[in-house]
Structure 1
Amino acid sequence: MTGTGMCEGRVVIVTGGGRGLGRAHALAFAAEGAKVVVNDLGVGLDGAASAGSPAARVVEEIRATGGDAVAHGGDIATGEGAASLIATALDAYGRLDTLVNNAGFLRDRMLVNLDEDDWDAVVRVHLKGHFLPLRHALAHWRTEAKAGRPPVARVVNTTSGAGLLGSVGQGNYAAAKAGIVGLTLVAAAETSRYGVQVNAVAPAARTRMTERAFADLAGVPEDVSPLVVWLGSAASAGVTGRVFEAEGGRITVMEGWRLGPTADRGARWTPAEAGEAAAKLLTAAERPRAVYGA
């Protein structure tokens, strides 16, 4: 393996680690000395079963270059699968230091054509698939902290520009990715006392999941991984509750909802007065960026 050893001795879980961004992250962590648990259910773009074990193939890649990795093929959007994921790291290596939540797939439709099943499936894998591994990892780290072994723990969640700005034809995906941002902020606030830092990255890169929806993306998954590795390492001490966008050679700190122009009359408005005040405030407010695809 080649690298600086930034993650030497750390044990890292990467969900959705068999292809695309997850594979790039797993290989990058291994190159920096981490032992990696590569999770991938091995499904197609729409979540349907597919042949082969992409997680096992990535493990073979890591081992072939002198690294240490194990595969996990469970469904991390179930309580049992998420619990077994954390157990796999602890059984194989005796510890867990970093969780990278990355698993996901797409079922794109305009809202008027979006079936309930397509909504449930995408929200389940992206949002619940972030929550359950996070919950089980946090339970382990809290136990460690209470036992006098405070961890230097890191969580890197995967959101999207679709979740930050919206994306036409991706209402289910955008809602799930926006939910991941909210989850990140809450987790960061609740867990810092246990030695846990939680951040999110909105990657923009050509993968099998994005190439059809965003054909103009020039970046590749390997461009995003260095930031994820740093966030997942001890070197990122003091950084938590932040959202970054990464594309190619560009890294941006995303600044979310914050107080803008305000009017306060100290009493209840009439509808007409409220409308007049809101219209005046909008003239002083920044215009939002366009929704992707609009």
Structure 2
Amino acid sequence: AAWSDVFQGLLMLVVAWGMGLYLVFSLHGGPGPMFQAIDAARPGFLRLGGPGSTMSPMAYSTAILVSVLGFIMWPHLFMKSFTTSEQRIKQTVLAYPLFAIFLVPVLFIGFAGVLNVPADALENPDQVLPYMLTNLLPVSGWLFGLIGAGTLAAAMSSADAITHGAAVELTRDVILPLAPALTEREQVWIMRAAVVVIGAAAYWLAIFGAAGLVQLLLGAYGSIVQFAPLIYGGLYWPRATRAGALSGLVAGVLVNSYFQLVQPVTPLDINPGILGLLANVALFVAVSWVTRPASTEVGEAFLQA
């Protein structure tokens, strides 16, 4: 599994760099001329809050914030973080920024289509790459296959870990406490069934959902970031209580869901996930102060583990 992830990651990076640079140089002659042309044709498009911008400075900043805080809250990531070695953590800290830099050309793909793809040509912005390859550039069949392989590599390397992590969390943290008599074999079958259900739900949202990939990601981050106060509070605040953590989590998810599903206009154009996080932290702290924490021995053993 580890070596397959390495191969998928390398293939994803090669395709991302190749396609990003190929499109930019073929359509614009390079990144510099591309951004100059965009700024000249659509003044303000590249400036947050400008006349042509699609996001306000507050919306953009809080979207970045919820992504940064929520990224490390995914169960499949912090499960690995809590079980890894100190040496492995140091290697990851050094290597991850390099990996993120390699993904920069992916952004070029979107910018390359700003002046070349008519606004009414796409049903969804996620279709910009196939449109440009089909209508603007002479591309052979093998290149389409390579792009498809790179896309699958990017999806599979994350999808397998996410679905398995979610299945484990559901089985061990939700179902097992309600049915502690379950055998190991029964737990394994529940996890397998959960993988199928979670994968089918994700497929349905991706194919039939109205939102694009960015909107789906921000929506997911809005809920997953609500685990942040629980994780950091449980690790570094001995006064944190179970009641405070659960009440904050529920409040954060409800606030985020309300502004995502019911009331799309948020105060000051703040990302719904950040509004939920503010409510989460406030209730977490307030309820923890008025409820009884676990015994000192339990807290010390957990913090020193």
* TM-score, normalised with respect to structure 1: 0.29
More helix by share: 2
Which has the larger Rg? 2
Larger RCO: 1 or 2 (CA < 8 Å, sep 6+): 2
* TM-score, normalised with respect to structure 2: 0.28
